Amino acid sequence: MQIKTAEFVVSNSDVAKCPNSRLPEYAFIGRSNVGKSSLINMLTGRKSLAKTSGKPGKTQLINHFLINKNWHLVDLPGYGYARVSKSSKKTFQKFITQYFSFREQLVTAFVLVDIRHKPQPIDLEFMQWLGENGIPFSIIFTKADKLKPSAITRHVEDYRNILLEFWEAMPNYFITSSSKDIGKEELLGYIDNLNANMELS
Protein backbone atom coordinates (compact mmCIF):
# COMPACT_ATOMS: atom_id res chain seq x y z
CA MET A 1 0.00 0.00 0.00
CA GLN A 2 1.15 3.48 -0.82
CA ILE A 3 -0.11 6.25 1.42
CA LYS A 4 -1.00 9.15 -0.85
CA THR A 5 -3.03 11.24 1.57
CA ALA A 6 -3.00 11.47 5.35
CA GLU A 7 -5.19 14.09 6.99
CA PHE A 8 -5.88 14.92 10.61
CA VAL A 9 -9.63 14.63 11.29
CA VAL A 10 -10.41 15.16 14.97
CA SER A 11 -9.10 14.88 18.55
CA ASN A 12 -11.40 14.21 21.46
CA SER A 13 -11.88 12.36 24.73
CA ASP A 14 -15.48 11.34 24.03
CA VAL A 15 -15.93 8.13 22.05
CA ALA A 16 -19.41 9.29 21.02
CA LYS A 17 -17.79 12.18 19.13
CA CYS A 18 -15.46 9.99 17.06
CA PRO A 19 -16.09 10.15 13.27
CA ASN A 20 -19.50 8.86 12.33
CA SER A 21 -18.31 7.15 9.13
CA ARG A 22 -18.26 3.39 8.56
CA LEU A 23 -14.63 3.45 7.42
CA PRO A 24 -12.39 0.76 8.94
CA GLU A 25 -10.20 1.86 11.85
CA TYR A 26 -6.79 0.70 13.04
CA ALA A 27 -5.85 1.80 16.54
CA PHE A 28 -2.25 2.29 17.69
CA ILE A 29 -1.56 2.16 21.41
CA GLY A 30 1.33 1.50 23.77
CA ARG A 31 3.10 2.68 26.85
CA SER A 32 4.17 6.31 26.91
CA ASN A 33 7.40 7.00 25.02
CA VAL A 34 7.30 3.73 23.08
CA GLY A 35 7.74 5.59 19.78
CA LYS A 36 4.11 5.65 18.67
CA SER A 37 4.09 9.11 17.07
CA SER A 38 7.36 8.38 15.26
CA LEU A 39 5.92 5.12 13.92
CA ILE A 40 2.75 6.84 12.67
CA ASN A 41 4.84 9.50 10.94
CA MET A 42 7.05 6.82 9.38
CA LEU A 43 4.06 4.81 8.11
CA THR A 44 2.36 7.85 6.59
CA GLY A 45 5.53 9.44 5.27
CA ARG A 46 4.66 12.68 7.09
CA LYS A 47 7.27 14.14 9.43
CA SER A 48 4.86 15.74 11.85
CA LEU A 49 1.42 14.20 11.32
CA ALA A 50 1.51 12.87 14.88
CA LYS A 51 3.25 15.10 17.40
CA THR A 52 6.42 13.54 18.79
CA SER A 53 7.82 14.48 22.16
CA GLY A 54 10.59 13.49 24.54
CA LYS A 55 8.07 13.81 27.36
CA PRO A 56 6.01 10.66 28.04
CA GLY A 57 2.25 11.07 27.96
CA LYS A 58 2.13 13.63 25.14
CA THR A 59 -0.88 12.03 23.42
CA GLN A 60 -3.82 12.66 25.73
CA LEU A 61 -6.73 12.39 23.32
CA ILE A 62 -8.16 10.00 20.73
CA ASN A 63 -6.71 11.28 17.43
CA HIS A 64 -8.24 10.24 14.10
CA PHE A 65 -6.33 10.51 10.82
CA LEU A 66 -7.96 9.78 7.44
CA ILE A 67 -5.63 7.72 5.24
CA ASN A 68 -6.08 7.51 1.45
CA LYS A 69 -9.68 8.68 1.97
CA ASN A 70 -10.71 5.12 2.85
CA TRP A 71 -9.54 4.17 6.36
CA HIS A 72 -8.78 5.75 9.72
CA LEU A 73 -5.56 5.49 11.65
CA VAL A 74 -6.32 6.12 15.33
CA ASP A 75 -3.63 7.38 17.69
CA LEU A 76 -4.60 6.53 21.28
CA PRO A 77 -3.08 7.84 24.52
CA GLY A 78 -0.27 5.82 26.04
CA TYR A 79 -1.30 3.65 28.95
CA GLY A 80 0.67 3.39 32.16
CA TYR A 81 3.09 6.15 33.02
CA ALA A 82 2.15 9.67 32.04
CA ARG A 83 3.25 12.84 33.77
CA VAL A 84 -0.28 13.88 34.62
CA SER A 85 -2.48 13.87 37.70
CA LYS A 86 -4.13 10.68 38.92
CA SER A 87 -7.55 12.05 38.00
CA SER A 88 -6.38 12.78 34.44
CA LYS A 89 -4.88 9.30 34.19
CA LYS A 90 -8.17 7.75 35.27
CA THR A 91 -9.95 9.76 32.57
CA PHE A 92 -7.49 8.50 29.92
CA GLN A 93 -7.95 4.89 30.98
CA LYS A 94 -11.71 5.29 30.94
CA PHE A 95 -11.96 6.58 27.40
CA ILE A 96 -9.39 4.10 26.11
CA THR A 97 -11.56 1.31 27.57
CA GLN A 98 -14.70 2.89 26.09
CA TYR A 99 -13.06 3.23 22.69
CA PHE A 100 -12.25 -0.48 22.52
CA SER A 101 -15.59 -1.51 23.98
CA PHE A 102 -17.88 0.58 21.77
CA ARG A 103 -16.08 1.46 18.54
CA GLU A 104 -17.63 -0.92 15.99
CA GLN A 105 -15.46 0.42 13.15
CA LEU A 106 -12.32 -0.94 14.80
CA VAL A 107 -10.74 -3.71 12.72
CA THR A 108 -7.72 -4.38 14.89
CA ALA A 109 -5.44 -2.80 17.45
CA PHE A 110 -1.68 -2.53 17.26
CA VAL A 111 0.03 -2.73 20.65
CA LEU A 112 3.45 -1.09 20.52
CA VAL A 113 6.25 -2.55 22.62
CA ASP A 114 9.86 -1.37 22.90
CA ILE A 115 11.93 -4.33 21.66
CA ARG A 116 14.89 -3.30 23.87
CA HIS A 117 13.18 -4.19 27.13
CA LYS A 118 12.10 -7.44 28.75
CA PRO A 119 8.34 -8.13 28.71
CA GLN A 120 6.66 -5.58 30.96
CA PRO A 121 3.69 -6.55 33.16
CA ILE A 122 1.66 -3.51 32.02
CA ASP A 123 1.98 -4.52 28.33
CA LEU A 124 1.14 -8.14 29.08
CA GLU A 125 -1.87 -7.11 31.20
CA PHE A 126 -3.17 -4.87 28.43
CA MET A 127 -2.84 -7.65 25.84
CA GLN A 128 -4.64 -9.96 28.25
CA TRP A 129 -7.45 -7.41 28.58
CA LEU A 130 -7.77 -7.18 24.79
CA GLY A 131 -7.91 -10.97 24.53
CA GLU A 132 -10.51 -11.31 27.27
CA ASN A 133 -12.66 -8.70 25.52
CA GLY A 134 -12.35 -10.34 22.10
CA ILE A 135 -10.48 -7.43 20.51
CA PRO A 136 -8.11 -8.50 17.72
CA PHE A 137 -4.59 -7.12 17.98
CA SER A 138 -1.05 -7.41 16.68
CA ILE A 139 2.15 -6.53 18.51
CA ILE A 140 4.46 -3.94 16.98
CA PHE A 141 7.99 -4.16 18.33
CA THR A 142 9.55 -0.69 18.02
CA LYS A 143 13.14 0.65 17.98
CA ALA A 144 14.58 -2.48 16.34
CA ASP A 145 17.50 -0.47 14.97
CA LYS A 146 18.85 -0.26 18.54
CA LEU A 147 19.53 -4.03 18.75
CA LYS A 148 21.46 -6.65 16.81
CA PRO A 149 19.35 -9.27 14.95
CA SER A 150 20.27 -11.98 17.48
CA ALA A 151 19.07 -9.79 20.37
CA ILE A 152 15.81 -9.03 18.52
CA THR A 153 15.19 -12.76 18.08
CA ARG A 154 15.94 -13.39 21.75
CA HIS A 155 13.61 -10.65 22.96
CA VAL A 156 10.77 -11.82 20.73
CA GLU A 157 11.29 -15.34 22.12
CA ASP A 158 11.01 -13.92 25.64
CA TYR A 159 7.58 -12.57 24.71
CA ARG A 160 6.60 -15.80 22.97
CA ASN A 161 7.48 -17.90 26.03
CA ILE A 162 5.43 -15.73 28.37
CA LEU A 163 2.46 -15.25 26.04
CA LEU A 164 2.18 -18.97 25.27
CA GLU A 165 1.48 -19.54 28.95
CA PHE A 166 -1.88 -17.81 28.38
CA TRP A 167 -2.45 -17.96 24.61
CA GLU A 168 -2.78 -20.85 22.20
CA ALA A 169 -0.47 -19.14 19.73
CA MET A 170 1.85 -16.16 19.64
CA PRO A 171 -0.13 -13.08 18.51
CA ASN A 172 0.68 -11.66 15.09
CA TYR A 173 3.68 -9.31 15.35
CA PHE A 174 5.85 -6.89 13.38
CA ILE A 175 9.45 -5.74 13.90
CA THR A 176 9.83 -2.01 13.20
CA SER A 177 12.18 0.93 13.35
CA SER A 178 10.86 4.40 12.60
CA SER A 179 14.31 5.84 11.93
CA LYS A 180 15.22 3.09 9.43
CA ASP A 181 11.76 2.47 7.87
CA ILE A 182 11.95 -1.16 9.03
CA GLY A 183 8.60 -2.96 8.93
CA LYS A 184 6.77 -0.24 7.01
CA GLU A 185 5.89 -2.35 3.95
CA GLU A 186 4.86 -5.37 6.02
CA LEU A 187 2.61 -3.34 8.30
CA LEU A 188 0.93 -1.35 5.54
CA GLY A 189 0.57 -4.53 3.48
CA TYR A 190 -1.19 -6.20 6.40
CA ILE A 191 -3.65 -3.29 6.74
CA ASP A 192 -4.18 -3.25 2.97
CA ASN A 193 -4.96 -6.96 3.02
CA LEU A 194 -7.50 -6.57 5.85
CA ASN A 195 -9.18 -3.72 4.01
CA ALA A 196 -9.36 -5.78 0.80
CA ASN A 197 -10.88 -8.76 2.62
CA MET A 198 -13.57 -6.56 4.15
CA GLU A 199 -14.54 -5.28 0.74
CA LEU A 200 -14.95 -8.85 -0.48
CA SER A 201 -17.20 -9.87 2.39
Domain residue spans in the chain? 6-200
Convert the pLDDT of each residue in 111-169 to its tens digit. 999 999 999 998 998 999 899 999 999 999 999 999 999 999 999 999 999 999 989 99
Which fold, 6-200? Rossmann fold (3.40.50)
Please determine, for residue 80, whether its predicted confidence score (pLDDT) is greater than 50.
Answer: yes
pTM surpassing 0.85? yes
Interior/surface letters 143-165, b for 16+ CB within 10 angstroms, e for the rest: bbeebeeeebeebbeebeeebee
Cα–Cα distance between 16 and 19 in angstroms, integer?
Answer: 8
